[in-house]
Amino acid sequence: MRQFDFIVIGTGIAGLSVAIKAAAHGSVAILTKRLNADSNTNWAQGGVACVTANDDTIDRHVADTLDAGAGLCREDVVRAIVAEGPERIAELIDIGVKFDQVEVDGRLEFDLGREGGHSRRRVLHSADHTGREISVKLLAAAVATPGIEFFENHYVIDLITTAKLGFVTEDRAIGLYALNQTNGEVETFRSDRIALCTGGCGRVYQYTTNPEVATGDGVAMAWRAGATVANMEFIQFHPTCLYHPKKKSFLITEALRGEGARLIDREGREFVNDIDPRGALAPRDIVARAIDNQIKRTGHPCVYLDVSHKDRAYLEERFPTVYHACMEVGIDPASEPIPVVPAAHYQCGGVRTDINGASSLRGLYAVGEVACTGLHGANRLASNSLLEGAVIAHRAVEHMRLKFPVNGRPPTEFPLPPWQSGDAQDVDELVVIYHNWDEIRRLMWDYVSIVRTRKRLLRAAARLHNLKREVHEFYWNFKVTTEMLELRNLVQTAALIVECASLRHESRGLHYTRDYPLPDHEHGPADTLVRRY
Ligand code: SIN
């Protein structure tokens, strides 16, 4: 058994920031199910929203965030994250992160991008590969920090809690079991301070901008451990994912629309203007719904993003990731519109936490996309997520070290039993896992995506109920494998999305249902909370 003062699961901006800061107070293990560089953060194109410009204020950023969040943001959380953002950005710059700058009147200023829902230019970026820039620099800093041990290819199966072990005491997280995918062994890790930084769940849907690792692991394992989960119905669909058979999950950054790219239909009409005066720069829920409606109404499989008003040199320099990806599949953005469709992009709900990332389970923290802090409400404002990851990581470490001081003693007095495989067999039929995986992703896309109905949610719930039973049997009868564990988390996360969506009898932000097409003003906005016990 391995023992650490802090355990961090995930290597995106949240995980690496927690690990680096925690290492000043004790030993740190950082586990990731693939390689250190495989995270959602690494894929982020747009940037980090942060107040740095003279014409911008904390109040404006707060107001834009609250407006996008459609009444469900927690204003104290929004204000804290926005106000503490500049300090965390300065720390990123200190470790070497380079945000693009421009010369204005002989002085260098940040080259600020603009995205939907922002009333000002305030998005710091490194061309269109901001996430990669941050990941690379944070990873280098973490590797150079003494006291952090990395465990790549370690897939956390489940958290260990005092309640699960049958101790009669306040329930708390005291460790975890992880599958070492290199040798197939299940290892036990022990700690009193565990930070879930596992990202989101885009892979629950057939079409997504997320990498393969985004299978809802954190939400599923926290929920199984008894932590409260909230607002999972608010899945953000990014309006512009490349529509091309060879590049299915490729994001076309919203920053292009910030630079004047036009969102048009086959006839060249800017159809979003019919719905919202902000047009293609309205918040994402509005734009994605407008595209979904356009596609369903016309029967044409996609809409288009036209950025041909910008010349080739500009596109290559400012948007190299998008430019080269399009050219690779034979689309020249400098001269022709890019075909795009909406795709699942961001989980706005998650493990319910307070303003310091503390979940309802003692000792368990959730930071980044896996968490529901109250920043995003019913719809995340573009580029607010990297900011949240950096700010809450800092707060979580401060909270952990004050609430659970590291004093050099063994982390917990409770004995942890090793993993028992019993007489489990090797998995004999991988085809069953792949079939179930496909079925979940298709049914979530067809029944639980941009436009929902009560009937579709009921259908999804019934199918997921059966799938959960099958997966459960599989889990208990066979030795654990990566595929099986991902499927188990995927089906659990999908079920939580459907459960939350079914509990919300109104349309608000990202949750739109034909049965209740308006917000419920009578009862007012409220979070959807799901508890295991
Ligand atoms: C984008 O670049 O369009 C995505 C940014 C975000 O989701 O915050």
pLDDT tens, N- to C-terminus, the chain (533 residues): 999 999 999 999 999 999 999 999 999 999 999 887 778 888 888 899 999 999 999 999 999 999 999 999 999 999 999 999 999 999 999 999 999 999 999 999 999 999 999 999 999 999 999 999 999 999 999 999 999 999 999 999 999 999 999 998 889 999 999 999 999 999 999 999 999 999 999 999 999 999 999 999 999 999 999 999 999 999 999 999 999 999 888 999 999 999 999 999 999 999 999 999 999 999 899 999 999 999 989 999 999 999 999 999 999 999 999 999 999 999 999 999 999 999 999 999 999 999 999 999 999 999 999 999 999 999 999 999 999 999 999 999 999 999 999 986 666 778 899 998 777 787 777 788 889 999 999 999 999 999 999 999 999 999 999 999 999 988 888 889 999 999 999 999 999 999 999 999 999 999 999 999 999 988 889 999 998 75
- Cβ atoms of 424 and 184 closer than 8 Å: no
For residue 384, give the ligand 1 atom closest to its CA.
Answer: 8
Which of 124, 237, 238 most suits a substitution to test ligand 1, by most atoms within 8 Å of the C-beta?
238
pLDDT score for 410 = 63
For residue 46, give the ligand 1 atom closest to its CA.
Answer: 2
Instruction: Quote the CA–CA distance of 127 and 315 in Å, as a whole number.
Output: 10
Q: Pick the residue whose CA is nearest to atom 2 on ligand 1.
A: 46
pLDDT score for 125 = 97
Which of 43, 45, 118 most suits a substitution to test ligand 1, by most atoms within 8 Å of the C-beta?
45
Whole-number Å distance, alpha carbon 193 to ligand 1 midpoint, is: 31
Q: Pick the residue whose CA is nearest to atom 8 on ligand 1.
A: 383
For residue 254, give the ligand 1 atom closest to its CA.
Answer: 3
Phi and psi for 302 in degrees, rounded to 5? -155, 170
Whole-number Å distance, alpha carbon 266 to ligand 1 midpoint, is: 24
Q: Is 505 helix (H, G, I), strand (E, B) or coil?
A: coil
pLDDT score for 432 = 82
pLDDT score for 107 = 94
- Cβ atoms of 97 and 103 closer than 8 Å: no
Which CATH number does 241-342 carry? 3.90.700.10
For residue 385, give the ligand 1 atom closest to its CA.
Answer: 8
Structure tokens, 103: 């010369």
pLDDT score for 78 = 98
Whole-number Å distance, alpha carbon 331 to ligand 1 midpoint, is: 21
Which of the residues are catalytic?
284
Whole-number Å distance, alpha carbon 219 to ligand 1 midpoint, is: 22
Q: 430-447 and 454-477 are packed helices; what angle lies between their axes, rounded to 10 degrees?
A: 160
For residue 382, give the ligand 1 atom closest to its CA.
Answer: 8
Whole-number Å distance, alpha carbon 327 to ligand 1 midpoint, is: 21
Q: Is 80 helix (H, G, I), strand (E, B) or coil?
A: helix
Q: Is 180 helix (H, G, I), strand (E, B) or coil?
A: strand
Residue with tokens 């930071």: 367
Which of 81, 254, 386, 387 most suits a substitution to test ligand 1, by most atoms within 8 Å of the C-beta?
254
CATH fold match for the domains 241-342 and 430-530: no
pLDDT score for 408 = 66
Whole-number Å distance, alpha carbon 511 to ligand 1 midpoint, is: 19
- Cβ atoms of 283 and 116 closer than 8 Å: yes
Which of 13, 251, 281 most suits a substitution to test ligand 1, by most atoms within 8 Å of the C-beta?
251
What is the domain partition of the chain in residue ranges? 241-342, 430-530
According to DSSP, the residues that pair with 237 across neighbouring strands are 344
Model confidence, pTM: 0.96
Whole-number Å distance, alpha carbon 209 to ligand 1 midpoint, is: 10
Instruction: Quote the CA–CA distance of 338 and 302 in Å, as a whole number.
Output: 10
Whole-number Å distance, alpha carbon 43 to ligand 1 midpoint, is: 10
For residue 240, give the ligand 1 atom closest to its CA.
Answer: 3
Which of 237, 383, 384 most suits a substitution to test ligand 1, by most atoms within 8 Å of the C-beta?
383
298-313 CB burial, b ≥16 within 10 A, e <16: eeeebbbbbbbebeee
Structure tokens, 317: 């320099």
For residue 128, give the ligand 1 atom closest to its CA.
Answer: 2
Ligand 1 binding residues, C-beta < 6 A: 45-46, 251, 253-255, 346, 382-383, 385
CATH class of 430-530: mainly alpha
Q: Pick the residue whose CA is nearest to atom 4 on ligand 1.
A: 46
Phi and psi for 44 in degrees, rounded to 5? -65, 130
Whole-number Å distance, alpha carbon 47 to ligand 1 midpoint, is: 7
Instruction: Quote the CA–CA distance of 319 and 313 in Å, as a whole number.
Output: 10
Instruction: Quote the CA–CA distance of 75 and 66 in Å, as a whole number.
Output: 7
